[in-house]
Structure 1
Amino acid sequence: MTGAIQEEEPAGWNPEASGTRVRLRDNPGRQGTTTGRVKKAGTFLLVEVDFGPNEKQCKRYELLEPIAEEAQIFDLLEGGSFGGPSDLRRVLTFEKIKGELTNVFYSMEASNTDFYPHQFKPVMRFIESPIGRMLIADEVGLGKTIEATYIWKEIQARHSARRLLIICPAMLREKWREDLRKRFNITGEIVSASTLYERVKDIASYRSAESFVYITSLEGLRPPANYDDESVSGVRAQFARILDQNTASEEFALFDHVVIDEAHYLRNPSTANNRLARLLREASHHLAGC
């Protein structure tokens, strides 16, 4: 190998500069770093590229291109830059290991209940949903509470979810806590609207990674129609404002998952219940009604 070239260098990037990030034109997933070493092979200019641990290869200059910056997917498609089969296999393997593409139910052995196939149908629909929203509308007695909790366990396994909020009529709060404890070994905490507001306010302020399973009443959170008016006081309005001001993003959400029991109370779009559901939908990564 030699670092000298007598002939006129091809127009474009400098192959003798070490540390240049390059990729193969016909296989953009194959990327490496130039070492600064080049040599001639007949009429071809060969550039040494470090593709990784103990893998240095010489590639023809015209088959390489520098990686200037992270390209957007539409720019790559427009430019005809596609990866090869090996790149697709790597991506699929990564997604499979990560759990995004698998149809295995991580939550199947998560409860102290008998196995009923129908209880996993909502889990499958939820996994396949592109929006992370679900309405469980089974008949009374078919275990909607169990199905909703299976979904939570699945989200925990797949996305390392930490924060679950369960909203139900006040008379059902104790039942939810007991079912979570007996059937799933989950310790849920019944909280008032004011306590929930204070804790969520801290999470919003500090972007903390606090974990919790909170159970609270639907009646205590119904926001007034003019909740967005800062002069309107009261916990319901304040809680609604903090939801409105903290829309969920990929990096952060006030709640990883929200379960709303007796969701038929939400169907009228002009009601406070529906208003609350809309705000919670935007402030959480996932939401299920049952």
Structure 2
Amino acid sequence: MGVVLSLDGEVAEVMFPEGEEWINVIDLVPARLSPTDELFEHCSASFAEDNEGSEDRPPAGSDDGDSVKWDNASEFGLFQQANFLRHVLRFDPLAGLTNARIEPKPHQVSIVRTIIRKRQARMILADEVGLGKTIEAGLVLKELRARGLVERALVICPASLQMQWQSELLTKFNEPFEIINGPTARYLGQGGNNPFSQRDLVICSLPLASKDNRAEQIIEAGWDFVVFDEAHRVRRWLPSPGRSKTTKAYELAELLEPHTPALLMLTATP
């Protein structure tokens, strides 16, 4: 790996560490290369060390003489960036962030790190309104999918927020969720099929998910990742001493919990 210091016409000035190991910045040796020189894996190059003399280095990991050549500095720049990203992704603890189409805020990255470190990604996100709970949930989803831990995901939200969730997940995270409403569920359920088993990425309204027959289908479908938006509706309370009541949303969450590895509850209401 080298660091491009400048691009001047057909010449790129790159700084490389000496030898095969990483060393301090003060020990780096400048080198001037032509964009048609051959670099990195399966490449060879002529290096000017300390601006005196040169050294030919053979292709790394290649004995057949194949090489990579660039016609201009722009092509070399693209190759260098791709190579840099390949190495960065190898060591980046959060592989999914680089695939999102947003620049996450520090507190959002911190939340993702906290959740990912847990053996099971389960948490209540109770940030104030406007701090980006939808973005945080999307980042967690993206990270889990990048790690191969999530294939099937379900978002349960108020009916008025279904299209907003769909748009956010598609435009910012490139995740094509499909909304399953009453008509869609009836269409996908033809022939006795479970409509929620027909799609891997699903958004469903809380009223629909709370219906007894749909709740059973949701549980039977099985999910790797579930998000409950407006999670203050998932509640249990005591109307009188010795008596408790639960909402339909609470009952659904209680049934999903044992079978769902990753579960997020989003609410801005204490």
Question: Cα distance, 1:114 vs. partner?
Answer: 2.2
Give 1:239 deviation, angstroms: 3.2
Aligned mates of 1:221, 1:211 — CA distance in 2: 15
Q: Is the 8 A contact 2:99 2:173 kept in 1?
A: yes
Give the structure with the larger helix fraction: 2
Aligned to 1:219: 207
Q: Is the 8 A contact 1:112 1:182 kept in 2?
A: yes
Q: For the structure 1 residues 273 and 203, does the alpha-carbon distance in structure 2 shift closer, same or farther, using more than 3 Å as the test? A: closer
Q: Deviations over 1:128-170 (max 9, x none)?
A: 2233311111111111001001111111122342111111000
Distance across 2 between alignment mates of 1:213 and 1:156? 12
Instruction: State the distance in 2 between where 1:193 and 1:285 align.
Output: 27
Please, which moves more after superposition, 189-198 or 103-112? 189-198
Q: Mark the CA change 1:186 to 1:239 in structure 2 (over 3 Å): closer, same or farther.
A: same
Q: 2:232 aligns with which of 243, 246, 264?
A: 264
Alpha carbons of structure 1 residues 132 and 114: separation in structure 2 relative to 1, 3 Å: closer
Q: Provide the residue aligned with 1:254 in structure 2.
A: 222
Question: Gapped runs of 5+ residues in structure 1?
Answer: 1-101, 223-235, 247-252
SS at match of 2:216: helix
Matched, 1:169 2:137: no
1:93 paired residue number:
none
Residues 1:193 and 1:167: Cα distance change in structure 2 (over 3 Å): farther
Shift of 1:259: 0.8
1:183-224 deviation per Cα after TM superposition (whole angstroms, max 9, x unaligned): 11221111125755866x8579xxx8x7621111011111xx
CA distance in 1, matches of 2:218, 2:200: 17
Relative to structure 1, is the Cα distance of residues 178 and 242 closer, same or farther in structure 2, using a 3 angstrom cutoff?
closer
- Is this contact kept in 2: 1:203–1:254, CA < 8 A? no
- 1:214-269 deviation line (CA, Å, top 9, x unaligned): 111011111xxxxxxxxxxxxx222333456x5xxxxxx71110111111111326
Q: Percent identity?
A: 35
Compared with structure 1, are the counterparts of its residues 196 and 153 closer, same or farther at alpha carbon in structure 2 (3 Å cutoff)?
Answer: farther
Tell me the distance in 2 between the aligned counterparts of 1:157 and 1:202: 30
Conserved? CA contact 1:243–1:279, under 8 Å = no
| 1:63-113 CA-partner distances (Å, limit 9, x unpaired) | xxxxxxxxxxxxxxxxxxxxxxxxxxxxxxxxxxxxxxx871112212222
Answer whether contact 1:168 1:261 (CA < 8 A) is retained. yes
- What is the letter of the counterpart of residue 273 of structure 1? A
Give the 3 Å change call, closer, same or farther, for CA 193–260 of structure 1 in structure 2: farther
One-letter amino acid matched to 2:120: I
Q: Distance in 2 between matches of 1:169 and 1:189?
A: 15
Distance 1:256-1:263 versus aligned 2 partners, 3 A rule: same
Q: Look up the equivalent residue of 2:208 and give its one-letter code.
A: G
Provide the C-alpha distance between the structure 2 equivalents of 1:127 and 1:261, rounded to a whole number of angstroms.
19
Cα distance in 1, alignment partners of residues 217 and 259 from structure 2 = 9
Aligned to 1:240: 215
Structure 2 gaps, min length 5: 1-90, 238-245
Residues 241, 176 of structure 1: alpha-carbon distance in 2 compared, 3 angstrom cutoff: closer
CA distance in 2, matches of 1:273, 1:110: 32
Alignment of 1:84-163 (within 5 A): 104-163=93-152
User: Is the Cα contact below 8 Å between 1:243 and 1:283 reproduced in 2?
Assistant: no
- Counterpart position of 1:183: 172
Structure number, greater radius of gyration: 1
CA contact (8 A) 1:263 1:289 kept: yes
Q: Which amino acid in structure 2 is aligned with residue 221 of structure 1?
A: A
SS at match of 1:165: strand
- The residue identity in structure 2 corresponding to 1:237 is D
Give the alignment partner of residue 257 of structure 2, picking from 255, 266, 281: 281
For the Cα contact (< 8 Å) 2:234–2:247, is it kept in 1? yes
The 3 A distance-change label for structure 1 pair 171 and 242 is closer
